[in-house]
Structure 1
Amino acid sequence: MPKLPPRWFIRSAWRAHRTLLRVTADRVGLSTPKPGGKFGMLRLTTTGRRSGRSRGVVLGYVEDDAGLVTLAMNGWAPEDPAWWLNLRADPHATVDLATGSRPVTAREATGSERDRLWAALRDCTGYGDLDAFAARRGRETAVVILAPR
């Protein structure tokens, strides 16, 4: 089983990435995926399911005909990330990409579509051993499609 960095390190890296985006006015920190290589980085803004406030998170993604595809993981912890819980309550969100912003609607991939997209994510160099990390969660990791609205 591959070793993960400590939780405090993962959370610190997330905070640093958000700070980098804020300090550089989004000029540094968002990127497009490289074909057959590294995933891209986007900022997803959801509406908090309890607070009703805007919540932003930076995520890795790949592009697919269906839209932008990411994983609902929480540093590979067993719990679902808050942003995914927010999207399940209200699937409408906004993504900020290196090329601009756009409104999206989220949905979970299932069946053969999920299998196909999981394979595409597995081929990305940025995730590491995706299957081994996902096995640590003890349950299936949702593959999320952010389709244009």
Structure 2
Amino acid sequence: MTSSEQVVDSPTGWVAEHIQRYVETGGAEGHEWRPGVYTLLLTTRGRRSGKRRRTALIYGRDGDDYLVVGSEGGAPKHPAWVLNLLAEPQVEVQVGPETFPARARIATPEEKPRMWPTMAAIWPAYDDYQARTDREIPVVVLERL
């Protein structure tokens, strides 16, 4: 993924505005989205379009890895960014002012029971989202390359 290519930000208006403030300020605005709730920017390669697509996500940590949740508010389908990283796991991550390449993967069935409580402690609504869908909401592990 080359950072010189144009990036398409989230089609959701408030998310796109959040991303732009985050990028323009090097994360000074937007990294801490709500008190104690931090966000990163994840750029994936569109599985159909081939375009670089960027979204803002709440994150947690597991050792050196970053964790994000593919909740889509409990919708019946995975968010597009999860489908994109399943097709192409090479992603770009921005945390505050730092941008780096990473490999994205779904947490294994053995890892998820340890990781989910970390994320639900940061954003308790994740438990509500899981309760409202039959879909297994994934925890995604972002491993710095």
TM-score range, shorter chain: 0.7 to 0.9
Of the structure 1 ranges 85-94 and 133-142, higher mean CA displacement relative to structure 2 is found in: 133-142
Q: 1:77 & 1:48 partners in 2: Cα distance?
A: 20
Deviations 1:50-104 (A, max 9, x none): 1111100000000112500010121321111111100000000000111401110
Task: State yes or no: 1:16 paired with 2:14.
Answer: no
Task: State yes or no: 1:30 paired with 2:31.
Answer: yes
Q: 2:20 & 2:69 partners in 1: Cα distance?
A: 22
Return 5+ residue gaps in structure 2 as ranges. Answer: 1-11
Report the count of equivalent residues.
133
Q: Paired residue for 2:39? A: 41
Q: Is the 8 A contact 1:66 1:145 kept in 2?
A: no
Question: What SS does the corresponding residue of 1:140 show, helix, strand or coil?
Answer: coil
Return 5+ residue gaps in structure 1 as ranges. Answer: 1-10
Q: Paired residue for 2:128? A: 132
Task: State yes or no: 1:61 paired with 2:59.
Answer: yes
Deviations 1:106-132 (A, max 9, x none): 1111223100000111221xx234322
Q: Paired residue for 1:80? A: 78
Amino acid at match of 2:133: R
Q: Is the 8 A contact 1:46 1:93 kept in 2?
A: yes
Q: Paired residue for 2:138? A: 142
TM-score where L is the length of structure 2 = 0.81
Task: State yes or no: 1:103 paired with 2:104.
Answer: no
Judged with a 3 Å threshold, the aligned counterparts in structure 2 of structure 1 residues 16 and 99 are, in CA distance, closer, same or farther, namely closer
Amino acid at match of 2:45: T
Q: 2:47 & 2:24 partners in 1: Cα distance?
A: 27
Q: Is the 8 A contact 1:69 1:143 kept in 2?
A: yes
Q: 1:24 & 1:65 partners in 2: Cα distance?
A: 27
What is the root-mean-square deviation of aligned Cα atoms in Å? Answer: 2.1
TM-score where L is the length of structure 1 = 0.79
